[in-house]
């Protein structure tokens, strides 16, 4: 996620936690003394609940669970939601959990958090570091669960101050792109597990100063396609390469050539990323194997660019096989795919107006689209509803400011998926709970 070029000085002040920033925008939903009074009444108990939320966050961080294995997390989510009076459904797509709170007439607002961890060995040194070997909450989903539970608690306790239906959704398997699809396929809307939402709202913790919110209109996160391409050759003895068709040479040529796709087939004003992340072939030095397997990731922000890049990758793979004399064409398998995450302009303005009313303009700033990917948009698309997805600052503000001032953000501030990714619980959880609750209230009706 990079800063936009215009108004750069103002935005970078906001990004390191100092004064300044970019206005959150006007629009309905957050203004008026009565609305502010209702919001403040809903948020008022947060200080008393914060110690419990921090303890929950640390517990979730100690006990991370991989995609579709989030049983412990889901059980704690369901226990808390039930105690607050939500109509709870568990086991959706295996481990998904939803809570529905019907509170009179009005719109249906869905708040979403993802629950899964990553196969990463933790290197933070935190006293509450992961106790599960090789698994870590390296993307902050423990923050997401904690914040949504905090908001669900406040909104349930403060239901006298709003009207409508609140849906809180705890999704498995965001990291592999399967969770949202699986919940939808299980009948999330079609079977009436939850009412179809009028708006979908979500946030993601990010490595910039805690106490800040970043937003991006329109396409805010990339489409992602992960591919596995198998090149077929004809193996044999390493001393007689003339009797073989070497798949390693074939695949290596592909890896080199595919780097030209972005440089030569994507216009400068368009955006795309092609990354080869895995190359597997052979087991020993003197045997030419029968096949080589390449895995790569493609990120794009436009469907036409996406089709063009994927087509170029397929064309190059087939051409390299033909040039090598392979008797079989390469086989391509799609490992996972994420759509472009697209923020609805009107919803963004409305929610940002509410954010500005609570946090002040200096706490919001605009970011360029991120090349990371998300599946939350599927929940909105399936409902025909608008989406607003924002980023929540989670890094220690002083550490971030020091790194920013020294021009060492990339070196000193670990990104999501790093074994050193460690959001600070305070004020990250405070602002995350406030943001979700305030966003929901901006779309729910007055009592």
**Active site residues per annotation:** 116, 174
Tokens of 272: 């795309």
Burial 148-182 (b: 16+ CB within 10 A, else e): bbbbbbbbbbbbebbebbbbbbbbbbbbbbbbbbb
The pairs formed by 91-95 with CB atoms below 8 angstroms and a separation of 24 or more are 92/183, 92/186, 92/188, 92/193, 93/68, 93/172, 93/173, 93/179, 93/182, 93/183, 93/185, 93/186, 94/68, 94/172, 94/182, 95/68, 95/69, 95/70, 95/71, 95/172
- How far apart (Å, rounded) are the C-alpha atoms in residues 124 and 302? 36
Going from the C-alpha of 160 to that of each of 38, 44, 86, the distances in angstroms are 9, 14, 15
Task: Classify residue 285 as exposed, middle or buried by CB count within 10 Å of its CB (0-12, 13-18, 19+).
Answer: exposed
């Amino acid at each position: 996620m990079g800063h936009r070029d215009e108004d750069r000085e103002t935005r970078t002040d906001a990004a390191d936690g100092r004064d300044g920033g970019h206005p959150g925008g006007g629009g309905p939903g957050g203004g008026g003394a009565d609305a502010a009074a209702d919001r403040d009444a809903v948020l008022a108990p947060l200080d008393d609940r914060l110690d419990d939320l921090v303890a929950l966050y640390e517990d979730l961080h100690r006990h991370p669970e991989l995609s579709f294995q989030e049983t412990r997390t889901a059980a704690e989510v369901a226990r808390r939601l039930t105690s607050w009076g939500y109509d709870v459904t568990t086991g959706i797509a295996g481990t998904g959990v939803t809570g529905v709170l019907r509170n009179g007439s009005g719109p249906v607002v869905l708040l979403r958090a993802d629950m899964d961890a990553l196969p990463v060995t933790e290197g933070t040194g935190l006293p509450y570091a992961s106790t599960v070997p090789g698994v870590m909450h390296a993307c902050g989903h423990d923050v997401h669960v904690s914040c949504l539970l905090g908001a669900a608690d406040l909104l349930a306790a403060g239901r006298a101050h709003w009207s409508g239906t609140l849906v809180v959704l705890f999704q498995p398997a965001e990291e592999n792109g399967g969770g949202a699809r699986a919940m939808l396929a299980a009948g999330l809307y079609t079977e009436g597990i939850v009412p179809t939402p009028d708006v979908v709202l979500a946030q993601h913790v990010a490595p910039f100063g805690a106490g800040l919110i970043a937003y991006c209109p329109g396409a805010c996160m990339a489409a992602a396609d992960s591919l596995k391409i198998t090149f077929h050759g004809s193996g044999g003895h390493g001393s007689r390469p003339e009797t073989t068709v070497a798949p390693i040479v074939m695949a290596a040529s592909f890896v080199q050539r595919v780097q030209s796709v972005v440089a030569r087939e994507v216009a400068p004003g368009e955006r795309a990323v092609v990354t080869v992340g895995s190359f597997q072939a052979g087991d020993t030095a003197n045997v030419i194997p029968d096949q080589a397997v390449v895995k790569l990731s493609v990120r794009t922000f436009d469907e036409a660019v996406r089709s063009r890049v994927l087509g170029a990758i397929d064309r190059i793979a087939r051409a390299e096989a033909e040039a090598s004399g392979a008797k079989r064409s390469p086989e391509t398998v799609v490992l996972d795919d994420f759509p472009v995450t697209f923020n609805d302009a009107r919803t963004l303005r409305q929610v940002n107006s509410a954010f500005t009313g609570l946090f002040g303009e200096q706490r919001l700033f605009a970011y360029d689209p991120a090349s990371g990917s998300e599946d939350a948009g599927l929940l909105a698309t399936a409902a025909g509803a608008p989406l607003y997805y924002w980023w929540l600052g989670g890094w220690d503000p002083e550490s971030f400011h020091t790194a920013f001032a020294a021009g060492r953000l990339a070196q000193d501030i670990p990104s999501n998926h790093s074994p050193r990714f460690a959001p600070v619980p305070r004020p990250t959880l405070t602002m995350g709970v406030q943001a979700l609750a305030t966003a929901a209230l901006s779309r729910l009706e007055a009592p």
